Amino acid sequence: LGITIKDVAKRVGVTPATVSMVINNKPRISEATRNRVLEAIRELDYYPHAGARNLVLKRTSTIGVAASFFTYPFILEILTGIELELRQTEYNMVLFGTRGLAKTEDSVIHSIARERKVDGLITITLDLKENQVEDFRKNNLSIVALERDYKGVDCVVVNNEKGAFDATRHLAQLGHKRIGLVNGLVGHPGSDERQRGYERAILESGLILDKAYWRHIDNFSRKEGFEAAQDLMSVSQAPTAIFVAAGDLAALGVIQALGRMGKRVPEDVSVVGYDDIPLSEMLEPGLTTVRQPMQQIGAQAFKQLLSSIKEGTNHQPFKMVYDAELIVRQSTGPCTH
């Protein structure tokens, strides 16, 4: 029950080593024995034991993908991109969900590094600590960070500053003067970049920065977006447009809150989202948003990880920056006030 290389060897009358060489296409095997081995393999329906092979080869043919949650569409799209590339190789992927808990994240990352269950790791929107990066380096494990730019770590990121700038300028060009912002928490790398893009666009458009129009949310959820919009629209001189830098799901919440308040999109208030998740084009009105090339990011990350695994972890840190692209749909229109 579970046939091994020995069984094959015995059947053909050679040693396991010979069979091994046939399997791995090593040259110095005569056609004759090669064929006999191949035949025996077929007859016995033999498959090499992946684990045993990995042990001696000192690799696992597995990569890890770590993220806080895998249910957010943005993460899923990246996952899809990874999988598309992965499928071309002999690699498998195992998922590590940290559930947003710092503790589990710490222990998860640490045990990944030490138990050597994977050859490399892709992190998505995860805040690595210095010593965690060090853990990986010590163990010669490759790592690629997505949406985060650590010094000395390979990464694939999006130009968030430009994406946010384009979105905000788009609203300004439509004549909006009071442009609200729903963003992630202050201090988070991606959020801060988007904040800068927003501010630059506001200033370059000759408008004034007003914190009263800014809201910060934690989980990029629809619910938070809903609440932020309610809050935002209750200030005197409410905004006529809202840039929801905290993702399309939150933007959906904003739109729903506006609807609940009797405001129409885009006639009364324009809304721009961020990410361009599949849902966004399904909505009515279609959501104007900043597209991140998520599948490409995932695919690129995997390619980079692979080459890092092959070439070892002592290479120049690799950094790939993708441009975010403004996709104009029906949720934005000229200012009517």
3-state SS class at 323: strand
- How far apart are the C-alpha atoms of 262 and 240, rounded to whole Å? 14
Question: Exposed (0-12), middle (13-18) or buried (19+): which is 3, by Cβ within 10 Å?
Answer: middle
- 59 part of the interface to DNA, by CB under 7 A: no
Tell which positions 95-114 bind a copy of itself, by CB under 8 A. Answer: 95-97, 99, 111, 114
- 80 part of the interface to a copy of itself, by CB under 8 A: yes
Selected range binding DNA among 28-36, 71-79, 193-201, 325-333, rule: CB under 7 A: 28-36
- 2 part of the interface to DNA, by CB under 7 A: yes
Strands, sheet with 241-244, edge to edge from the N-terminal-most edge strand: 214-216, 179-183, 241-244, 270-275, 288-291, 325-327
Q: Which does 13 bind (CB under 5 to 8 A by kind): a copy of itself, DNA, none?
A: DNA
- 52 part of the interface to DNA, by CB under 7 A: yes
Tell which positions 122-161 bind a copy of itself, by CB under 8 A. Answer: 138-140
Strands 154-159 and 288-291: unpaired
Among 24, 234, 314, 316, binds DNA (CB under 7 A): 24
> What's at 148, amino acid-wise?
R
**Least distance to a copy of itself, CB of residue 92, Å:** 5
Are residues 143 and 317 in contact, defined by beta-carbon separation less than 8 angstroms?
no
Which phi-psi region, left, alpha or beta, contains residue 222 (left: φ > 0; alpha: ψ -120 to 50)?
alpha
Contacts of 148 (CB under 8 A, 6+ apart): 123, 125, 126, 127, 128, 155, 157, 189, 190
Among 11, 21, 158, 229, binds DNA (CB under 7 A): 21
* Residues of the shown chain interacting with a copy of itself in the complex, contacts defined by CB under 8 A: 1-2, 45, 47-52, 54-55, 60, 62, 70-71, 76-77, 79-80, 83, 87, 92-97, 99, 111, 114-117, 138-140, 222, 252, 256, 259, 278-279, 282, 284
Residues at the site binding DNA, with contacts judged by CB under 7 A: 2, 4-6, 13-21, 23-24, 26, 28-30, 32-34, 48-49, 52-53, 55-58
